């Protein structure tokens, strides 16, 4: 390309100062260019500096960080050297931003239209009527339903995928030359993700807008990006065209990323089954819901007539998109949300619906691990206190025996023993999830209910957690009920799969033959929505659809 690049970053360095006053370098001398109309993806695990780099293109640094060196040229401007007020002028008109969580980025008390055209108002770009007309055109281009009236709604009245596209409309209204997408589809379901990706891709191509796409999901990036930059530890590991990176990765880290994507086929645990052994969990005609209970039925009914069984040492996967009742099922089994009808048997014995009427031993034998390790670990307790409690509570351990067991548990989840003095806030996402798991293991359970435990993690980290789960299973003879919206993780660990839709089980089938045997149209839709490591996958779907 002979054209002058739209963005040139040279020797970018961003540093931060920790609470203890120690200087840390987050970005260590990056160089890259973005040409007009080109979409460049920044990928890497969390902590690799991809978001920090993307935000720096707007001249923005998160609190505590500062650009310590290098230059960032966007169009005619040197962003690194600009004053804050000059940067404010640049934002929205030349560079704009689509955040990871659109739900958090919209003000819930203002109508969508007001927020989408706010940029034109701030920069005095065009009269209000014209801006609204332009917004409606953008809504149409982004394939939003009811483009003429959707702007009059409030953010809570549209779905997550729609909100994410509205956030893109907000970013595009000022005719920017560069749009920064910060993991815009990570929080979405696979089926919604497709719609959002298609909308982004067509709008960007139509406007010839350059983009920076931050993600840790290689398959998503493969669909939208022209070029991929792989980051790790604040340095560029590899840079190249999307096809090159996918098919001819050179750097070991890129190879690891790709390898994490290849599902390792699940080998069912082989163990001798005792004659007439009861299944670890048997659920019959289970109904559960939320809200005030009237005449023995709650206001909002979620689960309808769910039946399944988990054999000892086997794993059951539960898939479905958000709102399908997967998490509700786990909560009903765990007793957090008492089921109002139906029967459960744990190892042959009756499992009562509510926590109070279950015995301490039953509570111990069935543990639940939550999706978000951030909220599942008490931020005010040290790791040692968190892991010690189940030991003291269920097993009556104290003193040296307890401390030894804590060290053992940390070792089991491959964390150093020194970590026990830390607070949860001082661990990375993957480490927190390991602690979350270790706490469940501390109870010495027989069944672990895993509620989307890898969804918030990077591909590489998630793969490591899955390996850990398998390893623990073969050592401790556990059974898992594994809830996920990600089919490849379910495939990697489960023997049987339950497909859920609107609180009902639509299909139950062996995980290994999921792609081949699925009969129900919804199961087929879920399976076909999983992004493939192939740049033509999304376009291929267009033709099919």
Partner 1 sequence: MISVLRTSPRPGGTGPTWRFNWVGRIGLAMILFWAFVAIFAPMIAPYPIGEIADWDYFGPMSGQFWLGSDYLGRDVLSRILVGSRYTVGISLAAVFVACAGGVILGMVAAVMGGIFDTLLSRLLDAFNGIPSLLFGLVVVAAVGSSIPVLVLTLAAIYLPGAYRFARALSVNVNAMDFVTVARARGERTPYLIFREIFPNILGPVLADLGVRFVFIVLLLSGLSFLGLGVQPPNADWGALVRENIEGLSLGAPAVIFPCIAIATLTISVNMFIDNLPKKIRDRSE
- Is 393 or 537 the residue whose CB approaches partner 1 more closely? 393
Q: What is the DSSP string of 49-93?
A: SHHHHHHHTTT---TTEEEEEEEEEETTEEGGGS-HHHHHHHBTT
- Pick from 368, 415, 457, 465 the residue near partner 1 by CB under 8 A: 368
Pattern 17-36, partner 1, x by CB under 8 A: -xxxxx--------------
Under the binding rule (CB under 8 A), the answer on residue 519 touching partner 1 is no
Under the binding rule (CB under 8 A), the answer on residue 480 touching partner 1 is no
Question: Could you give the CA distance from residue 458 to residue 492 in angstroms, rounded to a whole number?
Answer: 16
Under the binding rule (CB under 8 A), the answer on residue 423 touching partner 1 is yes
Under the binding rule (CB under 8 A), the answer on residue 153 touching partner 1 is no
- Is 20 or 206 the residue whose CB approaches partner 1 more closely? 20
CB of 416 to partner 1, least distance (A): 12
CB of 286 to partner 1, least distance (A): 17
325-354 residues in contact with partner 1 (CB under 8 A) are 334-336
Cβ atoms of residues 245 and 238 within 8 Å: yes
CB atoms under 10 Å from CB of 352, counted, come to 16
- Pick from 76, 294, 295, 360 the residue near partner 1 by CB under 8 A: 360
Under the binding rule (CB under 8 A), the answer on residue 377 touching partner 1 is yes
CB of 94 to partner 1, least distance (A): 35
- Is 46 or 381 the residue whose CB approaches partner 1 more closely? 381
Contacts of 193 (CB under 8 A, 6+ apart): 161, 185, 220, 529, 531
CB of 431 to partner 1, least distance (A): 10
Under the binding rule (CB under 8 A), the answer on residue 439 touching partner 1 is yes
- Is 381 or 508 the residue whose CB approaches partner 1 more closely? 381
Residue 85 corresponds to which tokens in the numbers above?
Answer: 């007020």
C-alpha pair distances (Å), 357 with each of 73, 287, 360, 392: 65, 18, 9, 21
Q: In what order do the strands lie in the sheet with 77-78?
A: 23-34, 7-17, 65-74, 77-78
Under the binding rule (CB under 8 A), the answer on residue 380 touching partner 1 is yes
215-231 burial: b if 16+ Cβ within 10 Å, else e: bbbbbbbbbbbbbbbbb
- Pick from 393, 395, 506, 524 the residue near partner 1 by CB under 8 A: 393
CB of 527 to partner 1, least distance (A): 30
Cβ atoms of residues 62 and 55 within 8 Å: yes
- Pick from 281, 443, 505, 538 the residue near partner 1 by CB under 8 A: 443
- Is 132 or 384 the residue whose CB approaches partner 1 more closely? 384
Count of residues that bind partner 1 according to CB under 8 A: 32
Question: Could you give the CA distance from residue 454 to residue 170 in angstroms, rounded to a whole number?
Answer: 31
CB atoms under 10 Å from CB of 193, counted, come to 23
CB atoms under 10 Å from CB of 501, counted, come to 20
Contacts of 401 (CB under 8 A, 6+ apart): none
105-132 burial: b if 16+ Cβ within 10 Å, else e: bbeeeeebbebbbbbbeeeebbeeeebb
199-238 residues in contact with partner 1 (CB under 8 A) are none
Q: Which residues contact partner 1 (rule: CB under 8 A)?
A: 18-22, 334-336, 355, 358, 360, 363, 367-368, 370, 372, 375-381, 389-390, 393-394, 422-423, 426, 439, 443
């Amino acid at each position: 390309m002979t054209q002058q690049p739209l963005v040139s970053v040279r020797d970018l360095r961003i540093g931060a100062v920790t609470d203890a006053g120690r200087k840390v370098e987050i970005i260590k001398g990056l160089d890259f260019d973005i040409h007009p109309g080109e979409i460049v993806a920044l990928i890497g695990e969390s902590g690799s500096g991809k978001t920090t780099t993307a935000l720096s293109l707007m001249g923005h640094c998160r609190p505590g960080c500062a650009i310590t060196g290098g230059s960032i040229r966007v169009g005619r401007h040197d962003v690194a050297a600009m004053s804050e007020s000059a940067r404010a002028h640049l934002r929205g008109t030349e560079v704009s931003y689509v955040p990871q969580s659109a739900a958090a980025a919209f003000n819930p008390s203002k109508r969508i239209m007001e927020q989408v055209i706010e940029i034109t108002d701030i920069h005095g770009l065009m009269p209000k009527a014209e801006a609204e007309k332009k917004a409606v055109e953008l809504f149409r281009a982004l394939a939003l339903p009811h483009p003429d009236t959707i702007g009059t709604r409030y953010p809570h009245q549209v779905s997550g995928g729609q909100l994410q596209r509205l956030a893109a409309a907000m970013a595009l209204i000022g005719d920017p030359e560069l749009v920064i997408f910060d993991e815009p589809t990570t929080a979405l379901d696979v089926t919604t993700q497709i719609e959002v990706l298609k909308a982004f891709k067509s709008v960007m191509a139509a406007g010839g807008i350059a983009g920076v796409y931050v993600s840790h999901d290689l398959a998503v990036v493969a669909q939208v990006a022209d070029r991929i930059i792989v980051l790790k530890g604040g340095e560029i590991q590899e840079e190249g065209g999307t096809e090159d990176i996918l098919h001819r990765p050179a750097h070991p880290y890129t190879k690891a990323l790709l390898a994490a994507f290849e599902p390792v086929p699940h080998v069912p645990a082989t163990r001798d089954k005792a004659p007439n052994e009861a299944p670890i969990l048997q659920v019959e005609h289970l109904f559960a819901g939320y809200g005030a209970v009237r005449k023995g039925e709650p206001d909002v009914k979620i689960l309808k007539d769910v039946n399944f069984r988990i054999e000892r040492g086997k794993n059951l996967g539960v898939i479905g998109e958000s709102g399908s009742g997967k998490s509700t099922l786990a909560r009903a089994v765990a007793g957090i949300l008492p089921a109002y009808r139906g029967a459960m048997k744990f190892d042959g014995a009756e499992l009562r619906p509510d926590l109070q009427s279950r015995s301490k031993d039953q509570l111990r034998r069935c543990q639940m691990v939550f999706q978000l390790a951030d909220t599942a670990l008490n931020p005010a307790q040290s790791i040692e206190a968190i892991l010690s409690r189940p030991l003291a509570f269920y097993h009556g351990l104290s003193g040296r025996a307890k401390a030894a067991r804590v060290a053992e548990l940390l070792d089991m989840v491959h964390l150093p023993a020194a970590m026990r003095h830390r607070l949860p806030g001082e661990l990375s996402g993957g480490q927190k999830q390991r602690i979350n798991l270790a706490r469940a293991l501390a109870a010495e359970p027989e069944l672990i209910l895993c509620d989307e435990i890898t969804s918030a993690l990077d591909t590489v980290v998630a793969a490591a957690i899955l390996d850990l789960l398998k390893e623990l299973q073969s050592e401790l003879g556990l059974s898992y009920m594994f809830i996920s919206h990600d089919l490849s993780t379910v495939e990697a660990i489960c023997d049987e799969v339950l497909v859920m839709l609107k609180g009902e089980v639509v299909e139950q089938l062996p995980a290994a033959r999921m792609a081949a045997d699925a009969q129900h149209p919804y199961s087929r839709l879920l399976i076909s929505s999983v992004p493939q490591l192939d740049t033509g996958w999304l376009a291929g779907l267009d033709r099919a659809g």
